[in-house]
Structure 1
Amino acid sequence: MIHVEVAYAREDVQAILGLAVRQGTTLEQAISQSGILDRFPEIDPDKNKVGIFGKISKRDAILRENDRVEIYRPLLVDPKASRRKRAEKMTQTSTAK
């Protein structure tokens, strides 16, 4: 058996669930075995991206001892659009002075 963690975070709550799984367990299997999908019904296993230690991974990736499986929420705002909006605001602020 190896020990891994499955993590998910919302704005209001975070969960990191530790579990022991068999050697050769995939990322997808660990998510299922952790019970996190029951705790957070908004997680869509087909749509939410997943990774190991901050790096996007395939669901069939084999886990290793002490891996942290992470389930990512979809972005609410396009990062490029957000940067553009901030830059425009800064330009307007400096022009107004």
Structure 2
Amino acid sequence: MTDKNIVYQGQSFFDKVIECTGDVENAFAMALLNGINVTDHLEIGQVLKSPAVTKNQIVNIFNTKNRPASALSVLTPEPEPEPELTAYEFPGEFPYSF
């Protein structure tokens, strides 16, 4: 087992497939090998089995300081509430006089 087989924060299944084998086309084989679906959520620290490396140039790009992590979630700020509108009636309650 190498550290590439361990799931780190922000990694999706496809990130692990590319990191371990170098080619996303190995996703189905890796899913079968691990008994999971390609859409399953991975837990941090989970260890995955990987099929053979098919593209060494890609696998060699990744190391302990450089890992694919596309499953990061982006927090969006909540929208500010709309200001309350005051209903005025003519002519008595309108705040300005003509």
Q: Which has the larger radius of gyration?
A: 2
TM-score (normalised: structure 1): 0.34
Query: Which structure dedicates a bigger proportion of its chain to strand?
Result: 1
TM-score (normalised: structure 2): 0.34
